[in-house]
Amino acid sequence: MDDYDPSSMDAQIAQQHILHSINPITQTESVPIREALNRVVAENIRSTINVPSHTNSAMDGYAIRGIDIPSTETKQLKLVGTAWAGRPYYGAVNDNQCVRIMTGAAMPENTDTVVMQEHVRISNDLITIDSKQQANQNVRQAGEDIAEGDLVFTPGKLLNPSNIGLIASLGIGEIKVVRKLRAAFFSTGDELVSIGTPLEVGQIYDSNRYTLWSMLTRIGVEINDLGVVRDTPEAVEAAFLEASENADIVITSGGVSVGDADFVKETLEKLGQVNFWKVAMKPGRPLAFGKVKDAYFFGLPGNPVSVMVTFYIFVQAAIEKMMGHEPKPHIQIQATSNSELRKRPGRVEYQRGTYHLNENNQYVVVKTGEQGSGILRSMSDANCFIFLPMESSGISKGDKVEIWPFDSFV
């Protein structure tokens, strides 16, 4: 059956409406830097030291004075000591002298140049250098990476592993970040059974809470899982009240399509302000968005693929905005479709596929079997969405399509 509906909401407009309604959370907390991975910086982080703190050698070799480099031929310098990383040579280096130096060792007084060990000849305590050396080579200057007082990160920065290392290199052990977001979710449906209970006729296992748990966990959201809620007004109202108590965001799945939305709608009319939309997209047509008490509310459709698509397209960007950093753009790549893809104009579609780079260095994508919104396998086997725009009326084998690799959704 065609579910095209001319009164549908444009997916992009729905996304803009959602983002426009969302305010970032303002509470912060101080955490040890190991807990700051994937968190958002909430203060100016400045360096109180030079990095590196001392001018040091970038190579294993010999520390010399640049003025000792001969202009022609070669020159002999006398070896007077050794500088190790963490164990400096404290003496001064005079004319025609040198110090054996290891990578990372502080440059001895008077020296400014390192000659790589491969470029010298050694006999006893004399080394021979040639005129090809350059003054100041192979030396890392104090403050070269970061100078004392430099601003390193500003509020809004989402921290990745290299950022954490950089903060550690400044000797900073604790920083202020935006507090973790708290999400509460539950599934609705009389047909849903929890793992461990055998299925009776018409029952299915609740998978949506597990995909939601996974998608939220990997972006660092704290979770309150309220389980399966039966399709009665009382149960739904109680669940909404509990969910909105402590959460920044409440997410439900199921119960927002025309058939069974009524009591969810009824409950939400009592507790909050919520819009029920028919979004011109597949999967993921029914969607509810608004507020329940102080929490933002997303009512996602029940079908397992729809839950994931609407989460990635709507919820994740909203969470990023609440956490105070810019939504990450999804990587979009042109690929050749090796599958025929059926589609009706009038809605955008997020079909699922696997892509790879072929022997001619071109991206090729094939769809992952049947594309029904209840077939989670089509998502599980896939490594990308195949995005088909509103006006598309299907794709023939060999046509170009736009793909969105899942890697960019993390």
Chain residues binding ligand AMP by CB under 6 A are 187, 189, 191-192, 204, 206-208, 253-255, 257, 259-260, 301-304, 374
Please, which residue, 8 or 117, has the CB nearer to ligand AMP?
Answer: 8
Q: How far apart are CA 191 and CA 302, in angstroms?
A: 11
Place of tokens 């994740």: 316
Name the residue among 157, 127, 146, 148 with its Cα closest to residue 61: 127
> Is 189 an interacting residue with respect to Mg ion (CB under 5 A)?
yes
Please, which residue, 302 or 353, has the CB nearer to Mg ion?
Answer: 302
Residue 208 interacts, among ligand AMP, Mg ion, none and using kind-specific CB cut-offs from 5 to 8 Å, with: ligand AMP
Please, which residue, 187 or 316, has the CB nearer to ligand AMP?
Answer: 187
Quick one: which segment of 6-14, 206-214, 247-255, 318-326 binds Mg ion (CB under 5 A)? 247-255
Q: How many CB atoms lie within 10 A of CB 357?
A: 11
Instruction: State the nearest-atom distance from the C-beta of 374 to ligand AMP, in Å.
Output: 6
Please, which residue, 218 or 230, has the CB nearer to ligand AMP?
Answer: 230
Please, which residue, 133 or 188, has the CB nearer to Mg ion?
Answer: 188
165 contacts: CB under 8 Å, gap ≥ 6: none
Please, which residue, 144 or 260, has the CB nearer to Mg ion?
Answer: 260
First vs last C-alpha separation in the chain: 34
Q: How many CB atoms lie within 10 A of CB 389?
A: 12
DSSP helix/strand/coil, 217:
helix
Instruction: State the nearest-atom distance from the C-beta of 162 to Mg ion, in Å.
Output: 45
Q: How far apart are CA 312 and CA 337, in angstroms?
A: 23
What secondary structure does DSSP assign to 31-71, as a single string?
EEGGG-TT-BB-S-EE-SS-BSSS-EESSSEEEE-GGGS-S
Instruction: State the nearest-atom distance from the C-beta of 258 to ligand AMP, in Å.
Output: 9
> Is 254 an interacting residue with respect to Mg ion (CB under 5 A)?
yes
Residue closest to ligand AMP, measured at CB: 302
> Is 299 an interacting residue with respect to Mg ion (CB under 5 A)?
no
Residue 301 interacts, among ligand AMP, Mg ion, none and using kind-specific CB cut-offs from 5 to 8 Å, with: ligand AMP
